[in-house]
A = this chain, B = another copy of it.
């Protein structure tokens, strides 16, 4: 096991960043033409993609691969201008995370025989990058030993919005790491509360660390054609366009992580670093909960006039937004669409996006 000193990049660690998903629950800020990861959702002045890169750079230097759709390639390169153009792998179409991360694994398997791959979404937020880095360092050690490693986030609330990982026995080589007993789908709020009470469950943040060969060999055990197709594309990239549409649409969790956990081959690094997937505006608003201002502004505060109101305002069109006498309101003002709702109802924005699609307003979805 390699133990790099804290603060240095981790040799042979490659960050794979799947940058996809429309994030329709954050409509109208996020939409298929301009997904969540391209937006500053924390008020930091950096987009989620840029923050992801900032967080990974100390760990991997320039060993980063961003897997994104053709429509977003230019936006990704524009937001990360120091990125080498070949650091962006373009998916011909969206085929879920197994294909996206598996392709990156197949490419890295050929490129660096000692590679360890860590996949981290482009659109999550992490409050404590130092603690994140430490968890990744621990995970890389276990990955080099042949484990499929996931980072399990300590739950801070009984959230029904996330999947969970049940912790199993400690690893003999490192009792701080646990075998993953199982992955469980998003539970009800009651079940989530039970999970929280046991202390034996962690949030599944979709962070996987493994050697590319370990990941692809695990895939080959459940779907040998899929693994062979990915390795075939890596061998002859000219086949990408023709082979890609034949690949299964499946999440890495289902294709690899769940069966591997059932076989006792997944390790969990438990960690706590203020993680959130910013799934909707309610989640976004929660990020400001320490803020004692009644109306939280994501953007230019000078544009928002509030009077006896609470909630969150995103003034993204440059217009003045005045809000009077409403509680827990969510106002998202973009140049071509406006959303007014409440924190409680924020999840229902998906229905609005669906309705717009039915109306033929694809320009807005």
Using a CB–CB distance below 8 Å, which chain A residues touch chain B? 27-28, 302, 305, 307-308, 319-326, 329, 331, 333, 335-342, 344-345, 348-349, 351-352, 355-356, 359, 361, 364
26 contacts between A and B (CB under 8 A): A28-B320, A28-B322, A302-B359, A305-B355, A307-B348, A307-B351, A307-B352, A307-B355, A319-B338, A320-B336, A320-B356, A321-B337, A321-B338, A322-B338, A322-B339, A322-B341, A323-B339, A323-B340, A324-B342, A324-B348, A324-B352, A325-B342, A325-B344, A326-B341, A331-B338, A340-B340
When the two chains form their complex, are residues A364 and B326 in contact, meaning their CB atoms are under 8 A apart? no
A348, B323: Cα distance in complex, Å: 10
Complex copy number for this chain: 2
Nearest chain B CB to A340 CB, angstrom units: 5
Known interface pairs A348-B307, A352-B305, A356-B305. Does A340 touch B322 (Cβ–Cβ under 8 Å)?
Answer: yes
When the two chains form their complex, are residues B349 and A340 in contact, meaning their CB atoms are under 8 A apart? no
A359, B303: Cα distance in complex, Å: 11
A302, B355: Cα distance in complex, Å: 12
When the two chains form their complex, are residues A320 and B337 in contact, meaning their CB atoms are under 8 A apart? yes
The 8 Å CB contact of A348, one of B321, B325, B329, B348, is: B325
A324, B343: Cα distance in complex, Å: 10
When the two chains form their complex, are residues A349 and B322 in contact, meaning their CB atoms are under 8 A apart? yes
Nearest chain B CB to A48 CB, angstrom units: 23
Nearest chain B CB to A38 CB, angstrom units: 20
Q: Which residues on B sit within 8 Å (CB–CB) of A341?
A: 322-326
Please name the residue on chain B nearest to A349 by beta carbon: B324
When the two chains form their complex, are residues B337 and A324 in contact, meaning their CB atoms are under 8 A apart? no
When the two chains form their complex, are residues B338 and A338 in contact, meaning their CB atoms are under 8 A apart? yes
Nearest chain B CB to A36 CB, angstrom units: 18
A258, B302: Cα distance in complex, Å: 46
Nearest chain B CB to A249 CB, angstrom units: 29
Nearest chain B CB to A330 CB, angstrom units: 9
Residue of A28, A324, A325, A339 with most chain B CB atoms under a 10 A cut-off: A324
Q: Which residues on B sit within 8 Å (CB–CB) of A339?
A: 322-324
Q: Which residues on B sit within 8 Å (CB–CB) of A352?
A: 305, 307, 322, 324
Known interface pairs A305-B356, A307-B348, A320-B361. Does A340 touch B331 (Cβ–Cβ under 8 Å)?
Answer: yes
A319, B307: Cα distance in complex, Å: 24
A307, B345: Cα distance in complex, Å: 10
Nearest chain B CB to A318 CB, angstrom units: 8
Q: Which residues on B sit within 8 Å (CB–CB) of A364?
A: 320
Nearest 3 pairs between A and B by C-beta? A325-B345, A324-B341, A322-B352
A331, B305: Cα distance in complex, Å: 15
Please name the residue on chain B nearest to A344 by beta carbon: B325
A28, B355: Cα distance in complex, Å: 28
Nearest chain B CB to A363 CB, angstrom units: 10
A341, B345: Cα distance in complex, Å: 17
When the two chains form their complex, are residues B320 and A338 in contact, meaning their CB atoms are under 8 A apart? yes
Nearest chain B CB to A312 CB, angstrom units: 12
Q: Which residues on B sit within 8 Å (CB–CB) of A355?
A: 305, 307
A107, B237: Cα distance in complex, Å: 87
When the two chains form their complex, are residues B340 and A326 in contact, meaning their CB atoms are under 8 A apart? yes
When the two chains form their complex, are residues B345 and A340 in contact, meaning their CB atoms are under 8 A apart? no
